[in-house]
């Protein structure tokens, strides 16, 4: 081979190799994830502030807002707060709250004082709704038609509905478009009859939550008192008590990420 022919061949080989090689530090299209828009989750709470006729204060249980919020925000979800009446959310469990809940309270006071009323919630903005517990939920969440509409619309378009402790009180009267109760035929977890008796409120609450869920066709799956229990049934996630709040949020993350 003549020298001129050899040089031409070598240059062509080098050029071909460069054309096949990615530029330095260039993203690999096979491994780089496409940008994903943040999904938004609604945290829904009671606006009821007293335990029946006892006069004792109640509301939404602070750790059942704070712990899920921490999990969901840490997973990259955008979160908004709403309550039945809107405005300031009455809180229970503040006096003996853990450090994480108190830090949440300090950081989010403005949001907790200016929650969106349920009748102004646009369900189309949210990939999921999470009902926080607290005994107040037993009085106003079951019959709040606005929150029921939001949950139905989210669920029927493939979103997630979740609740913890007394939060599942919001589920007992939700019907889907076909007239069936949302919980019918699904496994659920919620504050148990034994736990209600243990806190001596079984004769104060308007109904026993576990019993009412079963009346609606759900299969209630209790754990021993104060033990964590999370149940996932299709796209419904429920938890038994405050110990289950973070676990419910973790299960929501898995469902929303398609795992």
Identified catalytic residue from 135, 165, 195, 220: 165
196 is annotated as an active-site residue? yes
18 is annotated as an active-site residue? no
| DSSP characters over 76-133 | T-EEEEEESS-BSPPEES-TT--HHHHHHHHHTHHHHHSBEEGGG--GGG-SEEEE--
Identified catalytic residue from 166, 214, 220, 221: 166
Identified catalytic residue from 196, 214, 215, 234: 196
| DSSP characters over 6-62 | HHHHHHHHHHHHHHHSPPTT---TTTPPPP-PPPEEEEEE----B-GGG--B--EEH
Question: In this structure, what is the dihedral angle of CA atoms 225, 229, 234, 235, given to the nearest 10 degrees?
Answer: 100
DSSP classification of residue 239: E
Tell me how far CA of residue 175 lies from CA of 9, 164, 212, in angstroms.
75, 19, 14
Measured CA to CA, the distance from residue 40 to residue 77 in angstroms comes to 6
Q: Which of 193, 237, 231 is nearest to 212 (CA)?
A: 193
166 is annotated as an active-site residue? yes
Residues noted as catalytic: 165-166, 196
């Amino acid at each position: 081979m003549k020298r001129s022919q050899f040089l031409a061949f070598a240059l062509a080989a080098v050029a071909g190799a460069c054309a096949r090689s990615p530029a330095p530090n260039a993203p690999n299209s096979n491994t780089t994830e496409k940008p994903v828009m943040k999904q938004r989750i609604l945290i829904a709470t009671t606006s009821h502030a007293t335990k029946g006729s006892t006069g004792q204060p109640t509301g939404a249980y602070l750790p059942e807002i704070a712990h899920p919020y921490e999990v969901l925000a840490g997973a990259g979800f955008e979160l908004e707060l709403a309550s039945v009446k809107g405005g300031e959310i009455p809180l229970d469990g503040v006096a003996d709250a853990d450090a994480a809940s108190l830090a949440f309270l300090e950081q989010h006071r403005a949001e907790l004082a200016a929650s969106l009323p349920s009748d102004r919630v646009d369900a189309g903005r949210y990939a999921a709704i999470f009902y926080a517990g607290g005994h107040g939920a037993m009085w106003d969440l079951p019959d709040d038609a606005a929150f029921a509409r939001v949950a139905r619309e989210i669920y029927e378009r493939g979103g997630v509905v979740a609740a913890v402790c007394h939060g599942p009180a919001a589920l007992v009267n939700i019907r889907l478009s076909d007239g069936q109760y949302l919980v019918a035929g699904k496994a659920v977890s919620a504050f148990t009859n034994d736990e209600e008796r243990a806190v001596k409120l079984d004769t104060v609450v308007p109904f026993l939550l576990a019993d009412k869920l079963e009346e609606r066709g759900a299969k209630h799956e209790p754990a021993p008192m104060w033990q964590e229990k999370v149940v996932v049934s299709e796209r419904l996630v429920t938890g038994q008590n405050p110990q289950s709040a973070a676990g419910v949020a973790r299960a929501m993350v898995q469902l929303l990420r398609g795992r």
